[in-house]
Copies of this chain bind each other. A is one copy, B any other.
C-alpha cells in the first residue's frame, strides 16, 4: 500500500541538530506554493520528530513570510526552553534565494506540554447540523490540494455567483482526509486551515487573499484523537473584522461526538 499523500507531504529528513529537510509535495499545490495547512503541519512535524520533545502540542503559531518554492526546504526546530511540564519551540523554514543565500519563508513557535488530568469542560457546544451523509460533497475546483479533503458544507459554501451580495462570513462544514486517515496532531493542524477566505463569502466577491499568520490551540490529547479516529470533524469559521487589507478568522473544530478538539485563529491578507 502506498503511503498516504499527507504522510508523504509532511515527511522530514534529519539534517543535523535541530534541523530537518523536506519539500513541498505536488499533491498539495495551491495557487502559489502548497496549501498553508500542510506547511504548518510540516513545521509542527519538526517539533514532534525532535528527539528532545516533551509532551504533546498545546499551541502552534505559523507565520507565512513567503511562498514555499519547489525543491528542498530547511526546517529548524529548536527547543528554546524546557520546563518541568512545558516546552517552548521556535521554528523557521528557509530556502535558497536568488543569490543562493538561505531566505526565511516561514517562522513559527509552538508550545508542547505533558498534560495532567484536571477538571475539564467542553464549554462550546457543537452547532446542530445535518449529518455529513446528508450534505453534498464539496466539488474541488481549481487547485490540487482541495482533492485531499472530503468536505461537506452545512452552511456558507463558496458563493456560486460573485454578485457582491454577501450577508455574513460563517461557514460550517464536515471534513476529513480523503482517503481517510486516523486523526493526529499534524492532520488536525492542517484541517484548521481548510476554510476558504472569509472575505469571499462576506462580499460574494473573489479577491486575492492569503493567510499571513495562523494560531491553533489543541484541546485534544492523544485519547481524544484516538476517539476521533477517521470520522468527520465539524468545522466552523467566521471573520470578525475586515480592515484595510487584513481580516481575521476564528474557527473551531469538533469531532463527531461533539468534543472541541481545537480552536484556531488566523489573519489573512486581502486585496481591494
Contacts and interface: CB of A to CB of B under 8 A. Distances in A.
Interface of A: 58-59, 61, 63, 65-66, 80-81, 83, 86, 88, 90, 92, 103-105, 107-109, 111, 113, 115-124, 168-169, 202-203, 212-213, 215, 217, 219-221, 239-246, 248, 250, 252, 260, 263, 265, 267, 269-272
Contacts of A250: 250, 263, 265
Contact of A103 (B81, B119, B263): B81
Residue among A123, A242, A243 with most chain B CB within 10 A: A243
B104 A80 contact: yes
Contacts of A107: 80-81, 88, 90, 109
Given A212-B111, A260-B240, A269 B86 contact: yes
Nearest to A90: B107
A59 B267 contact: yes
- The prevalent SS among residues of A at the interface is strand
- Chain copies in the assembly? 2
A58 B65 CA distance: 13
Contacts of A80: 65, 92, 104, 107
Nearest to A79: B104
A21 to B, nearest CB: 19
A68 to B, nearest CB: 13
Of listed A92, A107, A115, residue having the most chain B CB within 10 A:
A107
A90 to B, nearest CB: 5
Contacts of A244: 115-118, 120, 221
